[in-house]
Structure 1
Amino acid sequence: MTDEALARAIAQIELARARGACPVVRSFFDEATFTATHVAHDPVTLEAAVIDSVLDYDPASGRTSTHGADEIIAYIREAGLKIVWQIETHAHADHLSAAPHLQLKLGGRLGIGAAIMTVQTVFGKIFNAGTEFARDGSQFDVLFQDGDAVPLGALPGIALHVPGHTPADMAFIIGDAAFIGDTLFMPDYGTARADFPGGDARQLFRSVRRLLALPPETRLFLCHDYKAPGRDAYVWETTVGAERARNIHVHDGVTEDEFVALRTARDATLGMPRLLMPSVQVNMRGGRFPEPEENGTRYLKIPLDTL
């Protein structure tokens, strides 16, 4: 069985490195949610993508702000970049997306993996979102399938479906850089959890090994970092080669069954993410809040004794 999309991604990376056709990447780290937002741009055309943005949210008060997102906007405007993509690697459970705010200010098409429809179906039921909540992905401009092109100016790009953490996880390879969401963390921290509704540890292992088949020099940009014990700085960039050699969960030589046993045991010790309830309700709507009720206020739900 061949993996045509992976083969095309490998060829793209090798050609990009040979020609020096590599994106410039500037990352912004939100320490409150341990999230890295990446702005990638083509140095020739200045076309750019914002990947996994963060809306500031205080769960105690229910207040939101765009302070972090506005820093990204200031950078983009100062650099003279033209935003063509607002990309979500998946429907995050640990932070709210700022994509609608960024799209309003900067433009760009909002894209996510086509399996977001599966996530919308599952969580639409959990949150009893009602018939007014569309479960067809229509809140997004583009629903990416495995192998779809994601061009950025003169740089080639390709989307790879990498489910396991959630059904909708996608990795986006632009030039020689791969933006891989929550599939992998830094080598000293391991891999993403796989116990959310629709998650699957065995599927996650296969997705990770698919990514680790990319050339060893491929730059990997991660969505999160939590500072492994003994490390003082947050880091969100690594390489395929470093992950294959040193990832504490899935380095070369770890079998699928070994990983599944490890990941399942670890997941059983984890609590729910602090912002799961608001995050998923907002992110499954493309970063938008539910419609206001008759008093003009928007509300988020907390289902009791469900998750």
Structure 2
Amino acid sequence: MASPIVHPVFETVTGTWQYIIADPSTLAAVIIDPVLDFEPARNAISTTTADSLLDIVAQNSYKVAYLLETHAHADHLSASRYLQLKLEQPTNPETGIGKRIVQVQQTFAQKYGVEQSEFEDVFDLLWEDNQTFAIGNLEAKVVHLPGHTPDHVGYLIGENIFCGDSLFLPDVGSARCDFPGGDAVQLYHSVQTLFSLPPHHKIYTGHDYPSGDRNDPVPYTTVAEQQERNKHLKIGTSQEEFVNWRQKRDAGLGEPRLLHQSLQVNIRGGRLPRNGMLALPLKGVKEVGNVKL
């Protein structure tokens, strides 16, 4: 079986890796975790990043079959719906995400007052664990990787797994587990799932945050490199050691800059609210003495 063509595309504002993966023999393709640009100072949406993905598709004559999400992101807005509409002719791609997105949608719809009609059936495909599907002559497999979020999945395509926020570059480590439904024990076991792959397999990450001597973002390392060098849970790190450290670390983290905007759009499958309004929770003093503001 031929190896897939992989186009890593880095979005610098949110440090997000997006991927276009194509079958070289048929030019069938998928796009994983595309970003919709959002400027919080102006509450403005734009599509520069998503349009750059469309340019790659057009330049290579790819036929996009699926728009895939690894999970409901809390740090950037999804461009899946925008791309689906732009690619409707001629390929009409389907959107796909792990089946546990339903749990995440219900949790955050209640928090933000989102009507069920706005998030029900917004994804075309809710993947089962270990479900396989075709990308031309390539086979892709859905791997459940919970911990960062309960709905989190990775996509195993050839000798590559696109693991979203389950694991980052070895010098960055692992993702937080303090969102609703997150669980450090589950993340530990998800990383063991990644580590069970052959040593030469490539683990493509959902983000990178280069620092220190490393200035440029890197999309992947091998399983062997992660096992040897991941600073949070390399081979030999016990579950207890990792969980204790992760929980302590998460307790001191602030919320992502685009948390509320991202979740409200992403549980809708990349759609904006029908009324054009995003709910933002108030912070600071809500009560002074006996007076409730």
TM range (shorter): over 0.9
- Report the equivalent of 2:259: 276
Unpaired stretches in structure 1, ≥5 consecutive residues: 1-18, 293-297
Q: Does residue 277 of structure 2 align to residue 299 of structure 1?
A: yes
Determine the C-alpha separation between the residues in 2 that align with 1:103 and 1:130: 23
Per-residue deviation, 1:133: 3.6
User: How far does the alpha carbon of each residue in 1:112-154 deviate from its partner, in whole angstroms, 9 at most, with x for none?
Assistant: 00000010111111112134344x5x10000011110122111
Whether the 8 Å CA contact 2:71–2:152 is kept in 1: the answer is yes
Per-residue deviation, 1:250: 1.1
Unpaired stretches in structure 2, ≥5 consecutive residues: 285-293
Letter in 2 for 1:213: S
Task: Provide runs of 4+ in structure 1 moved above 2 Å.
Answer: 130-134, 303-306
Task: State the TM-score, normalized to the length of structure 2.
Answer: 0.93
Q: Does residue 127 of structure 2 align to residue 144 of structure 1?
A: yes
Whether the 8 Å CA contact 2:184–2:243 is kept in 1: the answer is yes
- Report the equivalent of 1:153: 136
Secondary structure of the residue that 1:101 maps to in structure 2? helix
Alpha-carbon RMSD across the aligned residues, in angstroms, is 1.3
Letter in 2 for 1:246: R
The correspondence for 2:23, drawn from 6, 30, 42, is 42
Secondary structure of the residue that 2:244 maps to in structure 1? helix
Per-residue deviation, 1:305: 5.3
Q: Does residue 155 of structure 2 align to residue 177 of structure 1?
A: no
The correspondence for 1:60, drawn from 41, 47, 53, is 41
Determine the C-alpha separation between the residues in 2 that align with 1:142 and 1:193: 27
Secondary structure of the residue that 1:83 maps to in structure 2? strand
Secondary structure of the residue that 1:224 maps to in structure 2? coil
> Hey, which of these two has a bigger chunk of strand by percent?
2
Determine the C-alpha separation between the residues in 1 that align with 2:235 and 2:42: 46
User: How far does the alpha carbon of each residue in 1:10-48 deviate from its partner, in whole angstroms, 9 at most, with x for none?
Assistant: xxxxxxxxx4x2111011111001001100001111100
Letter in 2 for 1:169: H
Secondary structure of the residue that 1:195 maps to in structure 2? coil
The correspondence for 1:120, drawn from 94, 105, 108, is 105
Q: Does residue 94 of structure 2 align to residue 109 of structure 1?
A: yes
Whether the 8 Å CA contact 2:109–2:116 is kept in 1: the answer is no
User: How far does the alpha carbon of each residue in 1:137-182 deviate from its partner, in whole angstroms, 9 at most, with x for none?
Assistant: x100000111101221111111011111001000000111111000
Secondary structure of the residue that 1:147 maps to in structure 2? coil
Structure 1 vs Structure 2: percent identity of aligned residues?
Answer: 44
Determine the C-alpha separation between the residues in 1 that align with 2:161 and 2:237: 23
Q: Does residue 55 of structure 2 align to residue 74 of structure 1?
A: yes
Determine the C-alpha separation between the residues in 2 that align with 1:289 and 1:139: 12
Whether the 8 Å CA contact 2:65–2:135 is kept in 1: the answer is yes
Whether the 8 Å CA contact 1:282–1:290 is kept in 2: the answer is yes
Letter in 1 for 2:169: M
- State the number of aligned residues: 280
Q: Does residue 215 of structure 2 align to residue 232 of structure 1?
A: yes
User: How far does the alpha carbon of each residue in 1:177-211 deviate from its partner, in whole angstroms, 9 at most, with x for none?
Assistant: 11100000001110000001110001110111111
Per-residue deviation, 1:230: 2.9
Q: Does residue 76 of structure 2 align to residue 95 of structure 1?
A: yes
Letter in 1 for 2:81: P
Whether the 8 Å CA contact 2:20–2:29 is kept in 1: the answer is yes
Whether the 8 Å CA contact 1:151–1:174 is kept in 2: the answer is no
Letter in 1 for 2:71: H
- Report the equivalent of 1:219: 202
Letter in 2 for 1:147: N
Whether the 8 Å CA contact 1:187–1:243 is kept in 2: the answer is yes
